[in-house]
Amino acid sequence: MMQRGAEATRLIAEADLRRNAGDWRGAAQAYASYLELVPTDWAIWVQHGHCVKEAGDAAGALASYRRAERGLPADADLQLQIGHALKRVGDFAGARVAYGRSLELAPEGEAAWRELSGLLGRAEAAAAEAEPAGLLLLTDLQLVLDLSDLWAWWQGSRAPSGIQRIQLGLAGAALRREGLGAVVRLAVFRPEEGHWRALPREAFWRLSTLSRARADPADPAWAEALSRTREVLEAAPPLDLPEGAWLVNPGSSWWLPDYHRAVREARARHGIRYAPLVHDCGPATLPEHVDPSMAAQFVRWFAGLSLQADLVLAVSEATRADIARLRDAHLPGLPAAPVAVLRPDAAPPAPPQAPPHPALAELAGTPFVLMVGTIESRKDHLFALNAWLALLRRLGEAVPPLVLAGRAGFGADPALSLLRRAPALAGRVRWLDDLADAHVAALYHGALFTLCTSRHEGWGLPVTEALAHGKAVVAPGHSGLLEAGQGLALHYQAGSEPAFLSLVERLLTEPGFLSAQERRIAEARRLRGWEEIAEELLGLLGAVPPGAPPAPAPPPPGTVHRLAALEGGAPRPAMAWVDLLRAGPNWHAPEDWGCWTRPGRALLRLPVAAPAGTRLRVHLALRAPAVAQAVTLRAGRDPAVVLEAAAGSRPITALETVAPEPGPAGQVLEITLEAPAAPPEAGVRAPPEAGVRVLPEAGGRVLPEAGGKVLPEAGGTLVGIGVVAAMACPPQDVTARLEFLESLSFRWPDPD
């Protein structure tokens, strides 16, 4: 406590008396006299500011608060008071910054959020979103973090899962680190518009804290924050991406329609660079453990990944190796973007407070074993439950309860069915699917040890979290689990129940074995903070030399390019070309038959491999919408021609032209297709007008196996003309022309 002399003590007593009596001017004068004697008593500067403000001088109050800020830079309530003062003097952008800082320091702060909720979206406060925090230097990285995956998760779920935890940790650390070499913006992609909108960082702080504090999505505070943020996003203009910025997607983007095409457009307009974080390649390496439609989405996305990214980030060396194997096996000849490893080897942050959970109270004082993770076929809870049955039959009551912490996901039915049907498991296995972060942390703290039986992991966050809590963990010795285990986990041969049970029995029955493992973990674990990982990310981005990703070599003349969402269990070059051929904003996302253009002029960039000036014939297979269309077609700089397409028809046409001169992006023939607005053909699924639906009641369907993401349904939107396929060849190449027609008439089996 600060020591005060007699005069200082007298002045404080006088000031307090005047303040309590409502004599604001007298109190302010007495506090000012005191501060002349003790100028570093920061709390009294706050009191002086309060009194000056109550006396009607908001600007004077602000000056006192700013003085107090020198000694109290991390005081959330002081930032709240600064925000109030700035709002009174009409500086709404400054008030937003101060309220945001208060919310960052104390994300549970209701008062700061109430104030921000009213300011978000107001034109007077909008400058706070655009202005960088501090002085922007030429050497600073401009970083746009695309949190579309996290935002989509929040529409159907609340408490974060593994990938969401990584996004929360990385984004939060990047924002806290801002000003030390980087300017950070948060964004959400709008598939129906092909661009991004700014996600206010204040909304991020609020939602990230609330998501970790409770599991109930119907909680009024959560619903209000989510609804308000949704309103702000709906009203926001397209995000003006900074020139030369890095667009980093720390979540999953493979499920976003036409994401790569939007990245290319942003690169062309703003010179951005793109770095996605690959969490795992499971949808391609273990497709039987994901929804088939999602496996197809992933392989299509992966096929174009190296053609779009300036840098690919992998969460582990194991994931980097998976990426390389998939490229080598299925995408030979396509350029390969560099891959860097960014491990999420961070200790979990301290969780926000949560209300008591009845199951945790029941478990208090009871030894139990913990298994954290979504219940899904890939995590192989069925293996764990069968092994637990064997253990119960062998050791009986000596076996402690097993606690499963996680929601149900894809393929959970076999494990949950066994849990319901096996009498021996009744009362011996507890499934908890409504846990906040504080509850999970309490389970880790109370567990004897933890289990992981996953068939494949890009990293394995539950292993990292177990080590962070000093707990022994039993996990199979494969994939990213080996790296997450840091040489401290107890690994067994994957799929071997005897090997698994041998380790579990030793932990339960062998004297000193469990405590020895805990000592080993305490002495040797090497976990970082998220700020260190964010700093490593900036270093990786800063080391990438300038220049766009290399263009692929054009396929040989006569190659048929289908513009459909191609099916297949593995990535292939044809999938990458579907993205690369479509240029400009006037395209809808591909469908199973081909792709609609939007009304107006769409651009098709067709690669050719022929000497400049060589005669070519471009063949186009089109699909007319529900009304007759007059489609204007042009090859390069040749004269335009008009095709009259009857309603619902499937016209096939050809354009005579010559091979162009090679350009910076290689030898590319530009085909323009221009058509007026029309409804799509009757009975054909139209591209979604509203993109990814934000609520199930809005017409979307939530798939638990999609992590709660809400997928688009059919919508009534307008189209131009449908493009099924394109091909360029010399006019005399009759074989190529016949093969083009055959490809439209026959359904060829897709390769695996």
Q: Is the distance from CB of 69 to CB of 105 less than 8 angstroms? A: no
pLDDT exceeds 60 at position 713:
no
How far are the Cα atoms of 59, 451, 629 from residue 626, in angstroms, in the given order?
Answer: 64, 57, 9
Which pLDDT band, with edges at 50, 70 and 90, does 682 fall under? low
One domain for residues 188 and 331: yes
Range of the domain at 276: 135-341
* DSSP calls for 550-595: PPPPPPPTT--EE-S----SS--HHHHHHHHHEESS-BPPP-SS-E
pLDDT at 333: 86
pLDDT at 2: 60
One domain for residues 394 and 282: no
> Averaged over 248-276, what is the pLDDT?
94
One domain for residues 379 and 513: yes
Structural domain includes residue 346: no
The one-letter amino acid code at 348 reads P
Instruction: List, for residues 33-78, the tens digit of each pLDDT value.
Output: 999 999 999 999 999 999 999 999 999 999 999 999 999 999 999 9
Q: Choose the final residue of a domain: 476, 500, 526.
A: 526
Q: Among 348, 149, 244, 261, which residue's Cα sits nearest to residue 579?
A: 261
Alpha carbons within 13 angstroms on the beta-carbon side of residue 169 total 27
pLDDT exceeds 80 at position 355:
yes
Q: Choose the final residue of a domain: 128, 144, 169.
A: 128
pLDDT exceeds 60 at position 421:
yes
Which pLDDT band, with edges at 50, 70 and 90, does 138 fall under? low
pLDDT exceeds 60 at position 27:
yes
* DSSP calls for 403-420: EEES-B-TT-HHHHHHHH
pLDDT exceeds 90 at position 715:
no
Which pLDDT band, with edges at 50, 70 and 90, does 709 fall under? very low
Structural domain includes residue 532: no
Reduced to 3 states (helix: H, G, I; strand: E, B; else coil), residue 502 is: helix
What total of structural domains would you count in the chain?
Answer: 4
Q: Among 682, 686, 702, which residue's Cα sits nearest to residue 694?
A: 702
One domain for residues 330 and 366: no
Position with higher pLDDT, 187 vs 123: 187
> Averaged over 362-379, what is the pLDDT?
96
Instruction: List, for residues 455-488, the tens digit of each pLDDT value.
Output: 999 999 999 999 999 999 999 999 999 999 999 9
* DSSP calls for 421-486: H-GGGTTTEEEE----HHHHHHHHHH-S-EE---S--SS-HHHHHHHHTT--EEEESSTTHHHHTT
CATH number for the domain harbouring residue 80: 1.25.40.10
Instruction: List, for residues 502-528, the tens digit of each pLDDT value.
Output: 999 999 999 999 999 999 999 998 999
Structural domain includes residue 696: no
pLDDT exceeds 90 at position 748:
no
Tokens of 471: 């707990």
pLDDT at 220: 94
One domain for residues 670 and 737: yes
Which pLDDT band, with edges at 50, 70 and 90, does 178 fall under? confident
Instruction: List, for residues 190-224, the tens digit of each pLDDT value.
Output: 998 889 999 999 999 999 999 999 999 999 999 99
> Averaged over 304-324, what is the pLDDT?
96
Tokens of 596: 């609609």
Distance CA(520)–CA(490), nearest Å, equals 11
> ∠ at Cα 289 (287, 293), nearest 5°?
60
> Averaged over 161-166, what is the pLDDT?
96
Structural domain includes residue 554: no
Q: Is the distance from CB of 188 to CB of 151 less than 8 angstroms? A: yes
Q: β-strands 402-405, 369-372: how paired?
A: parallel
Structural domain includes residue 587: yes
How far are the Cα atoms of 205, 398, 716, 723 from residue 682, in angstroms, in the given order?
Answer: 45, 66, 11, 17
**Beta-carbon contacts of residue 333 (< 8 Å; ≥ 6 apart):** 552, 553, 573
How far are the Cα atoms of 157, 571, 577, 612, 637 from residue 323, in angstroms, in the given order?
Answer: 29, 11, 19, 36, 40
Distance CA(177)–CA(156), nearest Å, equals 30
Q: Is the distance from CB of 45 to CB of 81 less than 8 angstroms? A: no
Query: Sheet of 369-372: strands edge to edge?
Result: 429-432, 402-405, 369-372, 450-451, 473-476, 490-492
pLDDT at 129: 63
End-to-end, the C-alpha distance of the chain in Å comes to 73
> Averaged over 339-367, what is the pLDDT?
94
Strand partners, 474: 451, 490
Strand stretches in 293-367, DSSP E: 312-314, 339-341
CATH number for the domain harbouring residue 156: 3.40.50
> Averaged over 255-283, what is the pLDDT?
95
Q: Among 610, 645, 615, which residue's Cα sits nearest to residue 628?
A: 645
Q: Is the distance from CB of 230 to CB of 207 less than 8 angstroms? A: no
One domain for residues 282 and 155: yes
One domain for residues 139 and 61: no
Mean pLDDT across the chain, nearest whole number? Answer: 90
Phi, psi of 32 (to 5 degrees): -65, -40
Q: How many helices (H) and strands (E) does the chain have?
A: 27, 25
One domain for residues 455 and 394: yes
Q: Is the distance from CB of 437 to CB of 162 less than 8 angstroms? A: no
Distance CA(129)–CA(203), nearest Å, equals 12
CATH number for the domain harbouring residue 585: 2.60.120.260
- Torsion over CA: 471, 474, 479, 482 (sign): positive
Q: β-strands 402-405, 450-451: how paired?
A: unpaired
CATH number for the domain harbouring residue 507: 3.40.50.2000
Structural domain includes residue 692: no
**Beta-carbon contacts of residue 628 (< 8 Å; ≥ 6 apart):** 644, 645, 646, 647
Any idea which of 240-249, 425-434, 708-717 has the lowest mean pLDDT? 708-717
One domain for residues 334 and 402: no
**Beta-carbon contacts of residue 637 (< 8 Å; ≥ 6 apart):** none
pLDDT exceeds 50 at position 135:
no
How far are the Cα atoms of 625, 626, 648, 716 from residue 683, in angstroms, in the given order?
Answer: 10, 9, 10, 12
CB atoms within 10 A of CB 123: 8
Structural domain includes residue 705: no
pLDDT exceeds 50 at position 386:
yes
Any idea which of 77-81, 114-118, 382-386 has the lowest mean pLDDT? 114-118
Distance CA(235)–CA(230), nearest Å, equals 9
How far are the Cα atoms of 192, 392, 548 from residue 272, in angstroms, in the given order?
Answer: 21, 58, 9
Distance CA(392)–CA(639), nearest Å, equals 80
CB atoms within 10 A of CB 510: 10
How far are the Cα atoms of 152, 168, 348, 466 from residue 162, in angstroms, in the given order?
Answer: 15, 10, 11, 13
One domain for residues 252 and 399: no
pLDDT exceeds 90 at position 749:
no
How far are the Cα atoms of 63, 84, 92 from residue 111, in angstroms, in the given order?
Answer: 22, 11, 16
Distance CA(610)–CA(207), nearest Å, equals 55
pLDDT exceeds 50 at position 235:
yes
Structural domain includes residue 207: yes
pLDDT exceeds 70 at position 752:
no
Strand stretches in 595-737, DSSP E: 595-596, 600-607, 615-623, 629-635, 641-645, 652-658, 668-675, 701-702, 710-711, 722-729
The one-letter amino acid code at 212 reads R
CB atoms within 10 A of CB 552: 18
pLDDT at 442: 97
Q: Is the distance from CB of 723 to CB of 586 less than 8 angstroms? A: no
Q: What is the CA radius of gyration of the chain?
A: 30
**Beta-carbon contacts of residue 575 (< 8 Å; ≥ 6 apart):** 299, 300, 303, 304, 566, 568
pLDDT over 70 percentage in the chain: 92
One domain for residues 146 and 268: yes
Instruction: List, for residues 564-598, the tens digit of each pLDDT value.
Output: 999 888 999 999 999 899 999 999 999 999 999 99
Distance CA(225)–CA(118), nearest Å, equals 12
One domain for residues 194 and 330: yes
What is the pTM assigned to this prediction? 0.90
Q: β-strands 369-372, 195-198: how paired?
A: unpaired
